Amino acid sequence: MKDVKCECGHVNPHGTVLCEACGKVLDEQEKNNKELLDMRYEGSARRSQTYNKTIIDKIWNFFSSVKVGIWLIVITLLTSTLGTILPQEMYINLPPDVYYEQEYGWFGKLYYQLGLHDLYGSWWYLLLIAMIGISLVICSLDRVVPLYKALKAQRVTRHEGFLNRQRIFGVTEHPEEKDLAVIKNHLHERRYRVREENGDLLAEKGRFSRWGPYVNHVGLIIFLIGAMLRFIPGFYVNEDLWVKEGETAVVPETGEKYYLKNNQFILQHYDKNKDKTFEKAIEQAGSVVKNYQSNVVLYERVSKNLPGEKPELKKLKEYKIKVNHPLDFNGYSVFQSSFRSELKTMSFVLANKKTGESFGAVNIDLEDPKATYNLGHGYSVKILNYFPDFEFDKNGEPSTKSRLPNNPAFVFSMTTPDKSKPETSFVAIKQTIEPFGENTYKMAFQGIETKNVSGFTVRKDSSLWVIILGGIIFMIGVMQGAYWNHRRIWVQNKNGQVWIAAHTNKNWYGLKREIETVLLDTKLVIPEDQQQKENLEKEGV
Partner 1 sequence: MATISSNLLFIAFILYLISILFYGGSIKSKNDSSEKQGTNTWGKIAVLLTIVGFVSQLGYFITRWIAAGHAPVSNMFEFTTFFGMALVGAFIVIYFIYRTTLLGLFTMPVAILVIAYASMFPREITPLIPALQSYWLHIHVTTAAMGEAILAISFAAGLIYLVKAIDQTKASKQTFWLEVVMFSLVTVLGFVAVSSIFSSMGYHEKFNWVDKHDNQVTVEYTMPAITGPHEGKLLTTNGFKPLVEMPAFINAKKSNTVIWSLIGGLILYGLIRSVLRRRIAAALKPLVKNIKLDFVDEISYRSVLIGFPVFTLGALIFAMIWAQMAWSRFWGWDPKEVWALITWLFYAAFLHLRLSKGWHGEKSAWLAVIGFVIIMFNLVAVNLVIAGLHSYAG
Could you list the residues that contact partner 1 (CB under 8 A)? 40, 66-67, 69-70, 73-74, 76-77, 80-81, 83-85, 87-88, 90-91, 103-105, 120, 213, 238, 270, 275, 277-278, 280-282, 284-285, 288-292, 322-326, 333, 335, 337, 457, 459, 464, 467, 471, 474-475, 478-479, 482-483, 506-509, 529, 531-532, 535-536, 539
Percentage helix, strand, coil for the chain under 3-state DSSP, each rounded to 5? 35, 35, 30
Smallest gap, in angstroms, from Cβ of residue 249 to partner 1? Answer: 18
Distance from C-alpha of 187 to C-alpha of 194, rounded to nearest angstrom: 7
Smallest gap, in angstroms, from Cβ of residue 528 to partner 1? Answer: 12
- Select 404 or 478, whichever has its Cβ closest to partner 1: 478
36 strand-pairing partners? none
For residues 383 and 410, is the Cβ–Cβ distance under 8 A?
A: yes
For residues 96 and 116, is the Cβ–Cβ distance under 8 A?
A: no
- Select 196 or 271, whichever has its Cβ closest to partner 1: 271
For residues 165 and 24, is the Cβ–Cβ distance under 8 A?
A: no
- Residue 108: CB atoms within 10 A of its CB come to 17
Smallest gap, in angstroms, from Cβ of residue 278 to partner 1? Answer: 4
- Select 103 or 197, whichever has its Cβ closest to partner 1: 103
- Select 129 or 194, whichever has its Cβ closest to partner 1: 129
Torsion of CA 25, 26, 30, 31, to 10 degrees: 70
SS3 278: helix
Smallest gap, in angstroms, from Cβ of residue 228 to partner 1? Answer: 14
For residues 153 and 45, is the Cβ–Cβ distance under 8 A?
A: no
Smallest gap, in angstroms, from Cβ of residue 459 to partner 1? Answer: 5
Helix axes 66-82, 123-153, angle to 10 degrees: 150
Distance from C-alpha of 109 to C-alpha of 4, rounded to nearest angstrom: 63
- Select 40 or 353, whichever has its Cβ closest to partner 1: 40
- Select 103 or 176, whichever has its Cβ closest to partner 1: 103
Distances (CA, A) of 180 to 154, 489, 496, 500: 21, 13, 14, 11
- Select 108 or 398, whichever has its Cβ closest to partner 1: 108
The greatest distance separating any two alpha carbons of the chain, rounded to the nearest whole angstrom, comes to 132
- Select 88 or 439, whichever has its Cβ closest to partner 1: 88
Smallest gap, in angstroms, from Cβ of residue 124 to partner 1? Answer: 15
Smallest gap, in angstroms, from Cβ of residue 262 to partner 1? Answer: 17
SS3 509: helix
Smallest gap, in angstroms, from Cβ of residue 366 to partner 1? Answer: 30
